[in-house]
Chain A
Amino acid sequence: MTEIFITGLGTVGAYGSGAESLRRVLAASELPAPSEVDRSAGYHLAQAPRKALLLDPALLREWVPPGEARRMSPPSRFALAAARMAFRCAGLGEGLPDERTGVVISTAFGPSSYSEGLLRQILLEGPESASPILFMESVANAPAAQIAIASKARGPSVTICQREAGALLAVGQAAADVAAGRVPRALAGTLDEMTPLLHSLLDRFGALARNSGPDGTEVARPFDLRRAGFVAAEGATMLLLESGERTASPLARVAAWGSAFDPTAPAVGWGTGSAGLARSLRRTLDRAGIPLESIDRIVTGASGSRSGDRVEALLLKEAWGDLPLPPVLAPKSVTGEYGGGFLGAAVLAAAGAPFGPTAGFEEPDPELGVVPHDGSPLAPPSTILVTSVAAGGAASWLVLEAP
Chain B
Amino acid sequence: MNHKAVSRRVAVSGIGAVSGLGWGIGPLWEGLRAGRTAIRPFQRFDHSAHRTHLAAEIADTSLSSDPRCQRLSLADRFAVFAAAEALAMAGLSGDTAAPLEDAGVWFGSSTGGMFESERYFSEFLRGRWRNARLRDLAAQQVNAPGDAVARWFGVSGPVSTVSSACSSGALALGAALDAVRSGEVEVAVSGGSDSLCQLTYAGFNALRSVDEGPCRPFRAGREGMSFGEGSAVLVLEPLERVLARGAEPLAEFSGAGSACDAHHMTAPDPSGAGAAAAIEAALRDAGMPASEVGFVNAHGTGTPLNDAAEWRALQRVFGERAGELPLTATKALLGHLLGSSGAIEAVATVLCLRHGELHPVPGCAEVDPELPVSLVLDRPLPLPGVRAAVSTSLAFGGSNAALVFSRWTNS
Contacts and interface: CB of A to CB of B under 8 A. Distances in A.
B198 A122 contact: yes
Contact of B198 (A4, A123, A161, A257): A123
Interface stretch (A113-121, A223-231, A298-306, A327-335): A113-121
B178 interface: yes
A153 interface: yes
B375 interface: no
A128 B398 contact: no
B258 interface: yes
A289 interface: yes
Interface in B1-37: 1-5
Contacts of A131: 206
Nearest to A173: B175
Contacts of A287: 1-2, 4, 183
Q: Name the residue in B137, B158, B395 with the highest tally of chain A Cβ atoms < 10 Å from its Cβ.
A: B158
A1 interface: yes
Interface stretch (A81-89, A132-140, A346-354, A376-384): A132-140
B149 to A, nearest CB: 10
Q: Name the residue in B160, B207, B398 with the highest tally of chain A Cβ atoms < 10 Å from its Cβ.
A: B160
A257 B1 CA distance: 5
Contacts of B160: 160, 162, 169, 173, 259, 394
Interface string A128-171: 10111001111111101110110111111111111100000100
A158 B161 CA distance: 10
Interface stretch (B118-126, B218-226, B329-337, B357-365): B118-126
Interface stretch (A19-27, A174-182, A213-221, A359-367): A174-182
A182 B262 contact: no
A267 to B, nearest CB: 5
A395 B369 CA distance: 51
Contacts of B143: 161-163, 392, 394
A157 B397 contact: yes
Contacts of B155: 261, 263
Contact of A122 (B4, B109, B199, B274): B199
Contacts, number: 244
A43 B203 CA distance: 25
Interface stretch (B58-66, B162-170, B229-237, B303-311): B162-170
A130 B176 CA distance: 36
Contacts of A128: 49-51, 202, 205
Q: Name the residue in B2, B50, B157 with the highest tally of chain A Cβ atoms < 10 Å from its Cβ.
A: B2
Size bin of chain A's contact surface: 35 or more
A260 interface: yes
Given A4-B3, A163-B143, A263-B154, A119 B199 contact: yes
A139 B260 contact: no
A126 B110 CA distance: 22
B131 interface: no
A157 B398 contact: yes
B277 interface: yes
B192 to A, nearest CB: 13
B125 A204 contact: no
B265 A149 contact: yes
Contacts of A175: 3
Q: Name the residue in B154, B162, B178, B201 with the highest tally of chain A Cβ atoms < 10 Å from its Cβ.
A: B162
A394 to B, nearest CB: 5
Contact of B178 (A180, A205, A268): A180
A393 interface: yes
Nearest to B151: A263
Contacts of A259: 157-160
A205 B135 CA distance: 10
B70 interface: no
Contact of A157 (B156, B164, B175, B183): B164
A201 interface: yes
B127 interface: yes
A154 B261 contact: yes
Interface string B358-381: 000000000000000000000000
B147 interface: yes
Contacts of B154: 263
Contact of B398 (A124, A126, A130, A145): A145
A139 B151 contact: no
A118 to B, nearest CB: 6
B150 interface: yes
B257 to A, nearest CB: 8
Contacts of A284: 1-2
A42 interface: yes
A179 B262 CA distance: 23
Contact of A201 (B104, B137, B259, B263): B137
Q: Name the residue in A118, A161, A180 with the highest tally of chain B Cβ atoms < 10 Å from its Cβ.
A: A161
A144 B161 contact: no
A160 B134 contact: no
Given A103-B260, A154-B262, A276-B156, A141 B141 contact: no
A154 B260 contact: yes
Contacts of B147: 261, 267, 392-394
A155 B4 CA distance: 23
B127 A42 contact: yes
B171 interface: yes
Contacts of B198: 122-123, 127
A91 B201 CA distance: 44
A156 B257 CA distance: 8
Contacts of B206: 130-132, 135
Nearest to B182: A176
Given A110-B142, A130-B205, A148-B398, A123 B162 contact: no
Nearest to B266: A136
B195 to A, nearest CB: 16
A273 interface: yes
B107 to A, nearest CB: 10
B408 interface: no
A265 interface: yes
Interface of A: 1-2, 4, 42-43, 99, 103, 110, 115, 118-124, 126-128, 130-132, 135-142, 144-146, 148-149, 151-163, 169, 172-173, 175-176, 179-180, 182, 201, 204-205, 255-263, 265, 267-268, 273, 276-277, 280, 284, 287-289, 392-394
23 contacts: A2-B3, A43-B124, A118-B199, A123-B125, A128-B202, A132-B203, A137-B265, A138-B203, A141-B399, A148-B260, A148-B397, A156-B258, A157-B164, A157-B259, A158-B258, A160-B163, A161-B143, A205-B138, A259-B160, A261-B156, A263-B156, A267-B151, A287-B183
Interface of B: 1-5, 47, 49-51, 71, 104-105, 109-110, 118, 121-122, 124-127, 134, 137-139, 141-144, 147-148, 150-151, 153-165, 171, 175, 178, 183-184, 198-199, 201-207, 257-266, 274, 277, 281, 395-399
Given A159-B162, A258-B2, 20 more contacts: A110-B142, A118-B202, A128-B205, A142-B265, A145-B396, A148-B261, A148-B262, A149-B264, A151-B262, A155-B259, A157-B258, A159-B164, A172-B1, A205-B138, A256-B2, A260-B158, A261-B150, A287-B4, A392-B144, A394-B159
Q: Which 5 interchain pairs have the tightest Cβ spacing?
A: A145-B397, A135-B203, A179-B3, A157-B260, A127-B202
